[in-house]
Structure 1
Amino acid sequence: MPRGEINHDSEYNMLYFLKDPSNICSITGLLCSFSGIYFSVTGKFYYALIGLIWSVIFDWADGIIARNLKNRTDYHRAVGTQMDSLIDIVSFGILPAVILLSFGKFKPSFFPGAFLIVAGGVVRLSYFNVFGMIDKNTYKGLALDNNAIILSFIFIFERFLSHQTFSTILYTVMIILLVFNLAPIRTRKFGAGWLYVLIPYTVIMTVYYAYIQ
């Protein structure tokens, strides 16, 4: 919604929109992401991955909730859209970058990759906010939330490899994913039904990573 069309003298204030169930879901996802950043910096990477994968759950769920809410105003939709996009850059841009930097023990060689991950996320989300999807079932490029699902999976192998070997694999995989995020390729959107696949996957990953941490 163009800024000029918003009535700044309306009854709405900023905190009013936190009453919206979809926005509450989004903020909960942000809490997961912020927790992931904290655990990454403190070196508890498995807990960080739990935060990362749960942020995907809430990112998917907020859209489903929003679509099923009745009497949701245009203002709620506009604020919710902006909130979702801003949280996405934290969840799927900054958090993965912090995981890479932290796992690389903040060596200078990991800085370029971490920056590219954040910058690529900003570019992709900005493009998506303007142009949207190709159609209702198709994205241009790989959606950022897919990165989180893949990242949470490959960390299963971390404990079986040397730190140096896995650091190289992690760096390489994340840059390859970034290329796919920005590539002019068609990727299919996961429908709402896939949430019922993601939930058990997330629960299993949560139990596994909590157990081995």
Structure 2
Amino acid sequence: MAVALWAVLADHIDGIVANRAPNRDPDAAKMGKSLDGFGDIIYGAVLPTAIVIQLSHASILSLATATALLVAGAIRLSYFANFGRSSDGRFLGVPLSYDVPLLALLFLLQPFIGAELFEWFVNVCFLLLAAAHVASIRVPSPSPAMYAAISIFVVVSSAALVMGRLSSHV
């Protein structure tokens, strides 16, 4: 989970770097756009799906959650690949880049939720998030301040997850 957060950060930074690259070949830009969508489905849907299934010991609920998350992720990315942002720069549906940070936050809150409710709570949150991926929700594009907040969240929560894991083995 701690490492997956860095994929979120890399995904946000790669677009900034690519847009600022001088004399960027248009074919490289097309390829980069396709690779970005592929990376999004891997870290934004496949990885959280695998974690939810493992966490829930492949329960029926986790398999339903996984299916919903993968289908919603594929639909969301297909829509975005064809239509992009709206004319006002907003996304339609919650981007997949919200999945890993939400999962990290849930893991950080796990001691306060309690072991008996945690699996159920994670599944319900991700079922709701799968619905939000394909809902007619208009989400603003990240601002520079939001990129800074994402970066801080990634570093702090990644460190907290690693430290928590290390301390549980001592």
| TM superposition score normalised by structure 2 | 0.91
With 107-116 and 91-100 compared, the bigger mean Cα shift is at 107-116
Counterpart residue identity of residue 63, structure 2 = F
Looking at structure 2, the residues matched to 143 and 151 of structure 1 have their Cα atoms a distance apart, in angstroms, of 14
For 1:159, the equivalent position in structure 2 comes to 111
CA contact 2:45–2:99 (8 Å) conserved in 1: no
Is 1:202 the counterpart of 2:161? The answer is: no
Distance of 1:179 and 1:109 partners within structure 2: 15
2: CA distance between counterparts of 1:171 and 1:144? 16
Q: Give the SS at the match of 1:184.
A: coil
Report the Cα distance in structure 2 between the residues aligned to 1:116 and 1:174, rounded to whole angstroms: 9
RMSD, aligned α-carbons:
1.4
Asked if the contact 2:46/2:70 (under 8 Å) is kept, the reply is yes
Q: How many residues align?
A: 165
* Alpha-carbon distance in structure 1 between the residues aligned to 2:84 and 2:138: 13
1:93 aligns with 2:45: yes
Moved over 6 A (4+): none
Secondary structure in 2 aligned to 1:187? strand
- In the alignment, what sits opposite 2:135? 183
3-state SS, counterpart of residue 139 of structure 2? strand
User: For 1:45-194, what aligned pairs fall within 5 Å after superposition?
Assistant: 49-135=1-87, 137-194=89-146
Helix, strand or coil: the match of 2:64? Answer: helix
Whole-Å Cα distance in 1 between the matches of residues 127 and 61 of structure 2? Answer: 13
- Residue equivalent to 1:42: none
Amino acid in the other structure paired with 1:116: A
> One-letter code of the match for 2:29?
R
Uncovered stretches (5+) of structure 2, i.e. residues with no partner = 166-170
For structure 1, the 5+ residue unaligned runs are 1-48
Higher relative contact order (CA 8 A, sep 6+): 2
Query: Aligned with 2:94: secondary structure?
Result: coil
Identity across matched positions, percent:
22
Seen in structure 2, the aligned counterparts of structure 1 residues 164 and 174 have a Cα distance that, compared at 3 Å, is same
